Chains A and B, each alone.
Chain A
Amino acid sequence: MSKKQKKNLIRIIIAAILMIAMRFVPVSGIPRFLLYMVPYLVIGYDILIDAFKGIINRQPFDECLLMVIATLGAIALALYEDGDYTEAIAVMLFYQIGEWFQSYAVGKSRKNISDLMDICPEYANLLDDEGHVTKVDPDEVEVGSLIVVNAGEKIPLDGLVEEGDTMLDTAALTGESVPRHAKVGDEVISGCINQNGVIKIRTSKEYDESTVAKVLELIEDASSRKSKSEDFISKFARIYTPAVVLAAVALAVLPPLALLIFGHNPNFGTWLYRALTFLVISCPCALVVSIPLSFFAGIGSASKHGVLVKGSNYLEALADTKTIVFDKTGTLTEGVFKVTSVHPKDISEEELLHMAAHVERFSTHPIANSLRLAYPNEADDCEIKDVEEISGHGIKACVAGRIVAVGNSKLMDQIGASWEDCDRAGTIIHVAIDGVYAGHIVISDLLKEHSALAIERLKKSGVKKTVMLTGDRLAVAASVAGELKLDEFHAELLPQDKVAKVEELLENKKKNEILAFVGDGINDAPVLTRADVGIAMGALGSDAAVEAADVVLMDDDPLKITTAIRISRKCLKIVKENIYFALGVKFICLILGAIGVANMWVAVFADVGVMVIAVLNAMRCLIYKD
């Protein structure tokens, strides 16, 4: 509890005791009125001052003024009839209880959410040239400094591991519970917790530019992008409050006048009371408080699961996602090429890989890399000489006295070897030894472990259309799309073609449906920006993607897309519940108040009770389980 909350709680208790005590004081008339003014002023003095200031500053139509008019009116009625002052005091009292509760709940959820994002490093252990370690603010560490991270500490800045070997807990950033291995030469990001070994890191970024600072900034900025629901409520409140005040005035004046004209008793007192009840009910706080709170809690909960949502508006949009467009490489597939099949002719598989790997020994081409990985004993004592790279075709070399050619079909044609085609999707590497065809090796990108499951879940959760766009060859794309059961795919696209395709899809969808694009952020930036919601995946460390995307998946698991959509739906559902519930109760109470069924106690419930329930409901946005 903050100081102010404590003070207000004490005020509430004192006023409540005084109010009850007054019932037993045997006075009447003016002395009674003066006595009752004590608890009223104890509980309401700040509201009176605020309302007064509001009028001076021409900002009159706020809830303080509503409360003041209602309670002063009730007091005036009580004074006139020498009746019950308790009602006026109770209204003020409950209003304050509601305010207190709201401030307590908001403070609590603020704390929950910031605990959730407890990734901010407090210090860095800076190592100087003489080997001394000093604890400094991460802000003060320059790029290229050497820092030590002990077991149990947070990595304060992004950098490269120079010494040591350890497991990193990335859960706070990615929501992923399996620790990640880090060894010499690995890039590590700030915000991870070093679990066991001591590591030395050469920093590569300043604190402000490091992952942890970017993530925190992103989350804090997120709720300043208002959702449509929030916009609706703030516009609504702007019209609604003055409208209710006018309605209350009309209720106080018109019916008694009409009664008077038709010769009945005007009952001014009754109609004034009803008008005052109206004012108490009218306060829109339940909505104004609970809706931003829901979105904030939803964004907090998403970030706990490794999904950064850059604004309430995007959290809202995700719920209506009907079309999802995927990039292939790095998004649905690992983006790492591996040997997936070996088809030798007249020699063993082992021998074919052996020869191919040797030829590629000195090449830096990605394909060479995967061939070498497939044959781990590549660095044996076979002699390799006369390596000749034939651009666009492949490589020839002399391996242990035999001429080995490794490359595409054009290379085979060139040396006159009769090659065979392969029906496997992927890049096909032909091998010829001494001019005779020896078989081929297929290299392809592997699907991510969760891709198929992710697509299935997306479809189950109401996504109508899944599309894949890729720059890769048609055969490869068709095989991936088939395996994942995608609805549509387009292959052999240049980056600008991807933008055009997304625009085409945007035009063909219904107006209130949302199109999301998921990419790994490498040369996807234009498409990420163009889609309704751009989702960048595994984007930790890729600044361009984080910049361009609206939603950032911290790790590269496609299942997180469903997590994001589900959190968004839950949050939206709660927001809608609150809107319907709050407005529903208020309108019913307004009608009951106007016809005189609801008294001020009901009105207080309609105001404070509804708000408390709406805030509690909003807090449910914090909870999400897979």
Chain B
Amino acid sequence: MKKTYKIDVDCANCALKMEDAAKKTAGVKDASVNFMALKMKVEFEDGADEGAVMAEVLKNCKKVESDCEIML
């Protein structure tokens, strides 16, 4: 299961940090952040609850880069 979310982040390095944070979140199989298109593509693990996982992803991203947003 893959989904794409719109994100808002200021710098390329911050986008990299968001990607790392999203990848490390439980329930996320893989994630990639496209800084130029301002999009995050998340591949969920089987049976993961998207809503809950994404809330967690947002929380983790905020930790590494307070100035970021994911449009859920």
Contacts and interface: CB of A to CB of B under 8 A. Distances in A.
Interface of A: 46, 49-50, 53, 57, 59, 62-63, 99, 102-103, 106, 109-110, 113, 220-221, 223-224, 234, 237, 284-285, 288-289, 292-293, 296
Interface string B28-72: 000011111111010000000000000000000001101100000
Given A224-B34, A292-B35, A50 B67 contact: yes
A375 B17 CA distance: 67
A49 B66 CA distance: 9
B26 interface: no
Interface in B1-39: 10-13, 16-17, 32-39
A554 to B, nearest CB: 20
B56 to A, nearest CB: 15
B37 A288 contact: no
A68 B12 CA distance: 20
17 contacts: A46-B67, A57-B64, A59-B64, A62-B13, A102-B11, A103-B10, A109-B36, A113-B36, A220-B39, A221-B41, A223-B34, A284-B13, A288-B12, A289-B11, A289-B12, A292-B12, A296-B36
Given A57-B63, A59-B63, A293 B12 contact: yes
Nearest to A296: B36
Interface of B: 10-13, 16-17, 32-39, 41, 63-64, 66-67
Contact of B38 (A59, A110, A234, A237): A110
B contact face: mostly helix, strand, loop, or mixed: mixed
A535 B38 CA distance: 27
Contacts of A223: 34-37
B13 A285 contact: yes
Contacts of B17: 59, 62
Given A62-B13, A99-B10, A220 B37 contact: yes
B3 to A, nearest CB: 13
B66 A53 contact: yes
Nearest to B37: A220
A57 B65 CA distance: 10
Contacts of A53: 63, 66
B34 A221 contact: yes
Contacts of B41: 221, 224
Contacts of A106: 12, 35-36
Contacts of A49: 66
A389 B34 CA distance: 59
Contact of B11 (A57, A99, A296): A99
Contacts of A57: 63-64
A220 B66 contact: no
A194 B23 CA distance: 44
Nearest to A2: B8
Contacts of A237: 13
B36 A103 contact: no
B44 to A, nearest CB: 17
A110 B13 contact: no
Contact of A220 (B11, B12, B16, B34): B34
Contact of A224 (B11, B33, B63): B33
Contact of A289 (B13, B32, B33, B38): B13
A224 B32 contact: yes
B66 A50 contact: yes
A57 B41 CA distance: 24
A296 B38 CA distance: 12
B23 to A, nearest CB: 12
Contacts of B35: 106, 223, 292, 296
A371 to B, nearest CB: 50
Given A50-B66, A221-B41, A110 B36 contact: yes
Nearest to A241: B13
A49 B67 CA distance: 11
A57 B66 CA distance: 10
Given A50-B66, A289-B12, A292-B12, 8 more contacts: A46-B67, A50-B67, A53-B63, A57-B63, A59-B17, A63-B13, A288-B11, A293-B12
Contacts of A99: 10-11
Contacts of A284: 13
A368 B33 CA distance: 54
A284 B13 CA distance: 9
A53 B63 CA distance: 8
Contacts of B16: 234, 288
A68 B28 CA distance: 34
Contacts of B11: 99, 102-103, 285, 288-289
A99 B41 CA distance: 26
Contacts of A62: 13, 17
A63 B34 CA distance: 21
A237 to B, nearest CB: 7
Contacts of B32: 224
